[in-house]
Structure 1
Amino acid sequence: MNFVKRAGLSLWSRRGRTLITLCTFLVISVMVLAGVMIKDATARAKHEAKRSVGAEVNLEMDLKSLGAGGALVAPQISAAVVDELGASPLVQKYTYSMFDRGVVKGGTELVTGGVDAAASGMGPDGTPTVGVLDSALLPDFRSGNFELLSGAHLTAADKDKHLLLIEERLARKNGLKTGDKITLGAHEGKATADFTVAGIYRDPRPSSEPEPEHFVNPANMLYASVGGFAGLNAPADGSLQVRKATFLLSDADDLGRFEEEAERIAGSALDGFALTTNDKAIRQMTGPLNSISSTAAVAMWLIGIAGAAVLALLVNLAVKQRRKEYGVLLAMGEKKGKLIAQQALEIVTVAALAIGLSSLFTQSLTQSAGQSLLGREAAAARHKLDSWQPPAPGSTGIDQGIDPDDKPVENADPIDSIDVRLDLAALATVGGVGLGLGLLATAVPAASVLRLTPRTILTKGK
């Protein structure tokens, strides 16, 4: 009788033991398969989140280098260099900005009653102005903190035009609407230019709360097309210099490549600047995914190790119980290799059946369990975000135990759903793990028995 037939008869005659082994393999297969599918599902969800959000790289002044060599002047970089970086195929959109003061002329009045003009370093007819290439990429607009009420954003196509975005309180006080003109003068010299109101936006901060970066009345903040505004205070060589830039990458996985490309293109022009990545939105969205992925991995390993230990004990017990059978077969001239092959075939058959059964229901089971677990994690993350309170106006929040960096990113809700899929790669992984455990559990006890002679096996019993 060949060993394949003997393996089939052995499994059938020992149905109780076969069933126990099958259940053990089934538990291992389900847990490993569930862990693999959750890992794959969370990886897909993270990738989609990265692609939807992109990655924000900020080119800003390096505070560590400020003051080096006794210089306290904020660095500037040529807009032409930034344009070259923005032309990279890795960049989806980009913007840059410069801050200066404009002198409002022609009867336009600033909003008063808020932050004192003297405290902001401005005169009675001056207002802080940010020249910007693409206003839609400003953090407050991207997060939804600022709302564009009418008109359109400033874009790269408007770079050299004379356009403005003004806050609704300034517009209301002066009866301005989109299409109207505001005359701005240089803060030094006599240059003036008429700017057209391209849009009116809303800043929710009260006039009494200073704009955090420039410490001015937020109602008087102007955003201008960068080239047109720079023309009021043009440098002697006529080149446009900017102080910060933002690059929105198409894929967050390209962060490292972009940093290398920036170093290659800009070189020494980056002196005094630092490239920093802002992946806070992605981390906020994928936090629950990381949690369930870790939980699934721990559960998979614990159940897998425990199941493997039980499986090893079962196989070891089975091999020892069959010592006499092995002794008789060896005495009849059967080769030891075929006996080991028979035992391995029995294990492989049970393992294959368990893997096949697990593939029938593990996907739906994992989808339900993973969705429930992710829902709880997402709800907890959302509650933590909703409970965050900003520091009091004029306070850094440090004395209140509040870290401003913990402020939630708007429109970046934690992901609360995953799509679990069963694919051939997952089945191959489970198959490899299951068969590997089975063969290892078989080889060790079988080798310990089959190294003996038939006479020793038959005469010494168990």
Structure 2
Amino acid sequence: MDYIKRAFLYLRRRIGKSLLLILVTTTSLIAILTGLTIQNALLKSSENNKKPLGSTVILSSRQHQLTQRALSSGFDSTDFWSYPIADAGRAQVSRKIAKRLARLSNVASYQIHSQAQVEAASFRVPPLNTDSKQSATAKGLLSNNQVTIFGISANLDDPNFQAKKYSIIRGRGIYNSDLGSHNVVIERSLALEDDIDIGHIIKVRNSQNRVSSLKVVGIYTAKGANGHLFRALEDPSRTIFASYSLASNLAGNAGMVTQAAYTLANRQQEHAFIEKANQLIPSPLQLTSTDRLYRAVTTWIQALSRIALRFIWSAVIAGSLILFIILAVMAKTRQKEVCLLIALGEKKGKIAGQFFIETGLVLLISLILTGAFGNFFSSLIGAQIITHTAIFSTPLGISSLIILVVLGIIMVSVATGLSLFIVLRSKFNQVVF
């Protein structure tokens, strides 16, 4: 009987064992597919996200940057915006210079930030949250009624609003049109503490003992800060958003800001921008390039790529090992069959061919099942490894599918070859029929 026909007959007659092989092979292929899906999605994510990520150049005083680095060394921060309370009120960047640099070529967007520490004059401030070790430290740095006026160009300039950890629940946010106004946005717990609503006037007292009236135009809620060091020491109820001009005025530095950030459209031209900008700023100021966002994306992608690569090879090795164990156990039961074929004059090459055809058919069926159901299961498994499930919406390319087939062939071939080696080295003269 032809060895190809024998392979088909064996799989049909040993349906239970065949289904077990198909189940194990399909499971291994789905695991490999999960890793390939992650790799493919990361490649697309890298291409889509790195392109719009220009570098960011920070303009601030040298003293401010030294203070910021010193204070931030003992605290965790996840973004490049941090404004130490110890440095508040030392705004030394001229708004005119900041806007002059914004008109240079290659500037895609810019943000101007300022801040002031003031005392609540007409309202009560909620007590600090002592659950945070930073908030516990704050008791030695902040008085009971001290709040931070955090000046921005617009809400979207703040990383907490960008990450949707802060969101406006009533009224509106701070816009560029609020420049020069006394409009502010307060946190929900502060509004509840003093029964403050949209349109109400609150009063604050600055370090010069001057009382200013602020109009509440919005109320925001905080789901969690993302690391603004020393900004009211992670207590949003003590953070009031306003235009940067108002914060500068309250700090007694009208016309000055703490720092400005310029997002460049082309990171390759960053050096040229810094050289041109250095000609327009006085010596007390300093430009610092920060590509932390770019590095964060790159690091995240590289870390997940390594996870995906290890996952793929782990699936290949584990699948090969499990298949080998099953085939080796099955081979022991087939010694009589192989011995009889050899006695009838069948060549060992054709016997080996029969084994490989059997596992090849199993692989073919498993690939079909993986194609039909693999996307669902790979997304389900991948979501347990990576929380960003949106990346699994990227379809696999032809090259990834080819890799899946090749790895499947390698896995099945290794397992079949090892099990076949055990069978063909058996002492057939000792086989008892």
TM-score, length basis structure 1: 0.50
Cα 1:94/1:315, change in 2 over 3 Å:
farther
Equivalent positions of 1:41-52 (< 5 A) are 41=37
Alignment of 1:197-208 (within 5 A): 197=215, 199-202=217-220
Structure 1 residue 35 displacement after superposition: 0.6
- Assess, with a 3 A threshold, how the Cα gap between structure 1 residues 461 and 112 changes in structure 2: closer, same or farther: closer
Please report how far the alpha carbon of residue 122 of structure 1 lies from its aligned counterpart in structure 2 after TM superposition. Answer: 8.0
SS at match of 1:223: strand
**Structure 2 residue 84 is matched with structure 1 residue 63:** no
Check whether the contact 1:30–1:358 (CA below 8 A) recurs between aligned residues: yes
Does 1:432 pair with 2:406? yes
Q: Provide structure 2 residue ranges, at least 5 long, that are not aligned to the other structure.
A: 59-64, 75-84, 129-138, 224-228, 276-284
Mapped contact 2:153–2:244 kept (Cα < 8 A): yes
1:156-305 matches, within 5 Å, as 158=177, 161-162=180-181, 164-167=183-186, 177=199, 187=207, 197=215, 199-202=217-220, 213-214=231-232, 221-227=239-245, 229-230=247-248, 240-242=257-259, 269=286, 301-305=317-321
Deviations, residues 276-322 of structure 1 (Å, cap 9, x unaligned): 89989xx9xxx9xx999999986775454121233356568868964
Compute the displacement of 1:362 (Å).
Answer: 3.7
Partner of 1:135: 155
Cα distance per residue 1:403-461 (max 9 Å; x no partner): xxxxxxxxxx985996697875565344323433454456568789999xxxxx99x78
Question: Where does residue 62 of structure 2 map in the other structure?
Answer: none
Structure 1 unaligned segments of length 5 or more: list them: 206-210, 251-256, 331-335, 382-412, 452-456
For 1:311, the equivalent position in structure 2 comes to 327
Are the structure 2 counterparts of residues 450 and 20 from structure 1 closer, same or farther at C-alpha, using a change threshold of 3 Å?
same
Cα deviations by residue, 1:22-70 (Å, 9 ceiling, x for unpaired): 5464234202221123334556778899989x99999882236889xxx
Q: Name the residue aligned to 2:7.
A: 11
More moved, 195-204 vs 355-364: 195-204
Equivalent of residue 147 in structure 1, options 168, 178, 192? 168
User: Partner of 1:405 in structure 2?
Assistant: none
Where does residue 358 of structure 2 map in the other structure?
350
Partners in 1 of 2:127 and 2:243 — Cα distance? Answer: 25
Cα distance in 1 between the residues matched to 2:271 and 2:86: 22
**2:358 match: secondary structure:** helix
Cα distance, 1:151 vs. partner? Answer: 3.4
Query: 8 Å contact 1:311–1:438 — kept in the other structure?
Result: no
CA distance in 1, matches of 2:178, 2:105: 16
- CA distance in 1 between counterparts of 2:195 and 2:213 reads 18
Deviation at 1:352, TM superposition (A): 3.5
Give 1:359's aligned amino acid. L
2:134 — aligned with what? none
| Separation in structure 2 between the aligned mates of residue 13 and residue 173 of structure 1, nearest angstrom | 82
- Is contact 1:151-1:199 (8 Å) kept? yes
TM-score (norm 2): 0.53
Task: Provide closer, same or farther for how the CA distance between residues 202 and 437 of structure 1 changes in structure 2, counting only shifts above 3 A.
Answer: closer
Name the aligned partner's letter for residue 410 of structure 2.
G
Q: Are the equivalent residues in 2 in contact too, given 1:111–1:170 (CA < 8 A)?
A: no
Which digits, 9 at most, give the CA deviation of each residue in 1:359-409, with x for residues without a partner? 34345655666677789x69xx9xxxxxxxxxxxxxxxxxxxxxxxxxxxx
Aligned partner of residue 153 in structure 1, secondary structure: coil
**1:97–1:231 distance in 2 versus 1, CA, 3 Å:** same
Q: Deviations over 1:139-177 (max 9, x none)?
A: 55454545352134324xx48543532438689889972
- The residue type paired with residue 26 of structure 1 is I
Distance 1:82 1:326 in 2: 90
Identity %: 10
RMSD: 6.9
Q: Which amino acid aligns with 1:153?
A: I
SS in 1 for 2:149: strand
Cα gap change, 1:322 to 1:196, in 2 (>3 Å): same
Equivalent in the alignment of 2:78 = none
In structure 2, relative to structure 1, the CA distance for the partners of 1:200 and 1:27 (3 Å cut) is closer
Q: Using a 3 Å threshold, how does the CA distance of structure 1 residues 239 and 135 change in structure 2: closer, same or farther?
A: same
Aligned-partner Cα distance in 2 for 1:424–1:235? 61
CA 1:443 to 1:421, structure 2 compared with 1: closer, same or farther past 3 Å?
same
Greater C-alpha radius of gyration:
1
SS at match of 1:200: strand
Q: Could you tell me whether the CA contact under 8 Å between 2:115 and 2:251 is conserved in 1?
A: no
User: Deviations along 1:226-254, whole A, 9 cap, x unmatched?
Assistant: 24643676879x66442x8698x99xxxx
Equivalent position amino acid for 1:97 in 2: H
Kindly indicate whether the alpha-carbon contact (under 8 Å) linking 1:37 and 1:420 is maintained by their aligned counterparts in 2.
no
- Using the alignment, how far apart are the partners of 2:261 and 2:203 within structure 1? 27
How many corresponding residue pairs?
A: 371
Query: Which whole-Å CA distance do the structure 1 matches of 2:404 and 2:397 have between them?
Result: 11
